[in-house]
Structure 1
């Protein structure tokens, strides 16, 4: 295929002009995906809850979540190769399932992405506090430090694409030190348990009414958070060189590499904890930090915190990068209020208005932190929305594939005959996990939380769905798609080139 046509001329077939500069190499796209999924953020967000609900056996929930999400990532890779357009899931569903459904999926996706930025900022705030103080972190200070996180991520993004690339590279280095290097050291020199401990729950079933199976299923709901963000690469398709090739490859490579790192860290931490039962009881609040400082010695506390912070900041920066592009793609099609402003591209060729607005919304989400420990609620909220989107995208792709509306033969990444099988398995996995995450669990709400927090995922996304449907009926955004925005270039048109 003629790459000049692919990179410069192909957008015209979808009705768009090239507004964003194509400066992202295959490595830069990989770095964005890696930093967004982030093994450091993923593992540190779920390890504490994993121990509480499943004990050392929590690692098998991570394995199951990895395999399930690998199916989804493969379907996404094929879609991203066929449709190399900024907007990702919104663009795919709009073309394969219709503009109304595309709008609703894009709406839920944006809400989930903003929630994920809020969650990363909230979790990162704890590490920022650990760097400067040994005192207990109050809810108000937690929220304030979270705002600092979001403000820094926004500031870096507003500088332009090149500074973002440098920070993401720093994040990869930090992830390598904090996850891979430290994990290898712990496995070689600080191991206190053998492989058999990975099959022990250490009495964690008490947190789930005495049922080890229920505890594992709850842990699986939490483990899903560790494998979100691989679709970030699809949001920069119009800034990537040779996107039909580079985007799907970066998506899968970043996902597999992060998954390997998460599993390595999970095993190393579990083996290195001297008293894993304290992590199950909650006496050890941060099993990762405990394992590292015990294994390396007290001198390692501050350096390790700095490395982890760099990884958290890189993750926040990358999330904000792809959210800004997602809003830009939505607004470019006049699908949002104030679309003209949201679609503005500044002198640095970045959607600066979209970046700013989403940062403000993510900051408002931090207000949940005033009501005690909001980590579990935020993780469930962000995961629930993404898994709803994953399920819808996979289902729409499967239906379009079976009805012959989608023939994935135009991209550089193709699954061939295995495509339908992988697609069916992905839908089955997502149907289970979406229900599992949304299932109301008192144990995932703050100790003093109300029934509203127990039902947070169901209530919030029901409200978002109702609001989205009301907007579609009242404002009819799908009718604003101009005639020069074709659904998808036909196979004949593509072959003609």
Structure 2
């Protein structure tokens, strides 16, 4: 199913040409292939592992209610993104869309922040995957071994990405198949056959807020800040827009289905783990730092430990592979406009029509941050920064769309338009993402490991400030905004009106 009819190719190519670019990447993904990219990056297994222990430690069994709140908030963002992606189906969405909505300087800073958020998130995923490799052999790794293994994961994913979108899709699809079968099966089994507690546990904070020195509302807000991590990555569907057939129609659909499907699995497994865990109080007390594995092995028995490790390892690998591909395509989008350092090299595409220049650059930058893993508090700071830096572009882009909408300079003209509902939906998306940016950046000792240094508590603000200042300095010195090409508005309007 890799061959599209001539009319489809011509439509996609004409649309891309009207937006000022020529087809350089291989356009071979269908809607399922595009969904798989978003699903793999959001990854229910990776997302749940990232938030379950912290969520339960902060708010007990009641933490699970933060997940539907975060899912609904992110669906608002998907609504705004759908209108933008259907009108401008381009790789590097954050940069490309904000350039057309507001202007070059704002667009460049938004794209810069999004790129570093994704690249450092890849650092985090590779580092967090490394211990599972050693768990296969029952070994306890040293920090240098973890870092070297994470580099190995990164290079393997780079190699797969370098062979083009078709091979990437196959690897990611295999990973998703294993993840869905295992996670849905395990979640239902825990809920139906291995439940240790009644559903009342889901309303019980287990005195976690009092133990942490926070109130009930403050604890729930902290969990919402953490829970947002489980629902990011759907914009990976946008990263492969120029490789998706009928992208203007299919990318919005893929984002929606990727987020909803992952959201359903994450919520199912979060509830199942909480109700099947033999001793939730131990998680609150900090004596069980891996409640997911505890619930699974207690329910299924010790024999399940190794197969479960394999599933988790496959999930992390698929997540890293798809996210790395998204980062490479975002860099390619910036570099082909000549607005990223070493643009002539970063914009290169290889014989497999993969953005090899962006792939190499993304891998080098992600690997350069891995030595932080030699110090656990430093890698924790990187995780905190990555969450905040991902939500900041969500907010900036939603705010840009609302500003242009209210000014009358943008009226959605793509395959997806919500008409009069578009403005209130956009307002709600701005309020949600703005709240989440403040919520994540708010310095909380409760979300940091005991005894963590001050810079980890303030990591979100410090990280965003450092990356933002570096971007602003490059903007002032190199002035990349001057090199951004202008689209032909009449050609684009004529095409989109068809």
TM-score (norm 1): 0.96
* In structure 2, C-alpha distance between the alignment counterparts of 1:106 and 1:210, rounded to whole Å: 36
Aligned to 2:280: 276
Q: Is this contact kept in 1: 2:382–2:459, CA < 8 A?
A: no
Q: Does 1:216 align with 2:220?
A: yes
- How is 1:368-383 mapped onto 2 (pairs within 5 angstroms)? 368-372=372-376, 376-383=380-387
Aligned to 1:68: 73
Aligned to 1:434: 437
Q: Is this contact kept in 2: 1:95–1:487, CA < 8 A?
A: no
Q: Does 1:110 align with 2:111?
A: no
Alpha-carbon shift at residue 171 of structure 1 (Å): 1.4
Q: Tell me, what secondary structure is at the counterpart of 1:486?
A: coil
Aligned to 1:314: 318
Q: Is this contact kept in 2: 1:334–1:480, CA < 8 A?
A: yes
Alpha-carbon shift at residue 142 of structure 1 (Å): 2.2
Q: Tell me, what secondary structure is at the counterpart of 2:238?
A: helix
> RMSD of the alignment, in Å?
1.6
Q: Tell me, what secondary structure is at the counterpart of 2:58?
A: helix
Structure 1 gaps, min length 5: none
* In structure 2, C-alpha distance between the alignment counterparts of 1:456 and 1:308, rounded to whole Å: 27
Aligned to 2:3: none
* In structure 2, C-alpha distance between the alignment counterparts of 1:492 and 1:92, rounded to whole Å: 15
* In structure 1, C-alpha distance between the alignment counterparts of 2:273 and 2:425, rounded to whole Å: 33
Structure 2 gaps, min length 5: 1-6
Q: Is this contact kept in 1: 2:377–2:452, CA < 8 A?
A: no
Worse-superposed segment, 468-477 or 381-390:
468-477
Q: Does 1:355 align with 2:359?
A: yes
Q: Tell me, what secondary structure is at the counterpart of 2:419?
A: coil
Aligned to 1:470: 473
Match of 1:366 among 344, 364, 370: 370
* In structure 2, C-alpha distance between the alignment counterparts of 1:190 and 1:350, rounded to whole Å: 46
Q: Deviations over 1:290-341 (max 9, x none)?
A: 1011111111110111111111100000001110000000000000121010
Q: Does 1:494 align with 2:498?
A: no
* In structure 1, C-alpha distance between the alignment counterparts of 2:360 and 2:90, rounded to whole Å: 22
Counting matched residue pairs gives 492
* In structure 2, C-alpha distance between the alignment counterparts of 1:380 and 1:88, rounded to whole Å: 23
Alpha-carbon shift at residue 490 of structure 1 (Å): 6.5
Q: Is this contact kept in 1: 2:164–2:353, CA < 8 A?
A: yes
* In structure 2, C-alpha distance between the alignment counterparts of 1:375 and 1:263, rounded to whole Å: 27
Q: Is this contact kept in 2: 1:278–1:284, CA < 8 A?
A: yes
Change in Cα spacing, 1:492 to 1:177, as seen in structure 2 (3 Å) is closer
* In structure 2, C-alpha distance between the alignment counterparts of 1:402 and 1:44, rounded to whole Å: 40
Alpha-carbon shift at residue 496 of structure 1 (Å): 6.8
Change in Cα spacing, 1:210 to 1:15, as seen in structure 2 (3 Å) is closer
Q: Tell me, what secondary structure is at the counterpart of 2:430?
A: helix
Alpha-carbon shift at residue 151 of structure 1 (Å): 1.6
* In structure 1, C-alpha distance between the alignment counterparts of 2:205 and 2:488, rounded to whole Å: 51
Alpha-carbon shift at residue 158 of structure 1 (Å): 1.4
Aligned to 2:265: 261
Q: Is this contact kept in 1: 2:283–2:291, CA < 8 A?
A: yes
Alpha-carbon shift at residue 495 of structure 1 (Å): 6.0
Q: Tell me, what secondary structure is at the counterpart of 2:22?
A: coil
Q: Does 1:293 align with 2:304?
A: no
Q: Deviations over 1:325-372 (max 9, x none)?
A: 000000000001210100000111111121112112111222222222
- How is 1:237-252 mapped onto 2 (pairs within 5 angstroms)? 237-252=241-256
Match of 1:124 among 116, 129, 133: 129
Change in Cα spacing, 1:149 to 1:174, as seen in structure 2 (3 Å) is same
* In structure 1, C-alpha distance between the alignment counterparts of 2:67 and 2:255, rounded to whole Å: 19
Aligned to 2:424: 421
Q: Tell me, what secondary structure is at the counterpart of 1:238?
A: helix
Alpha-carbon shift at residue 138 of structure 1 (Å): 2.9
Q: Is this contact kept in 1: 2:90–2:238, CA < 8 A?
A: yes
Q: Deviations over 1:198-250 (max 9, x none)?
A: 01111211453142322221111111100010111111111110001111100
Q: Is this contact kept in 2: 1:377–1:444, CA < 8 A?
A: no
Q: Deviations over 1:265-298 (max 9, x none)?
A: 0011111001111111121111110101111111
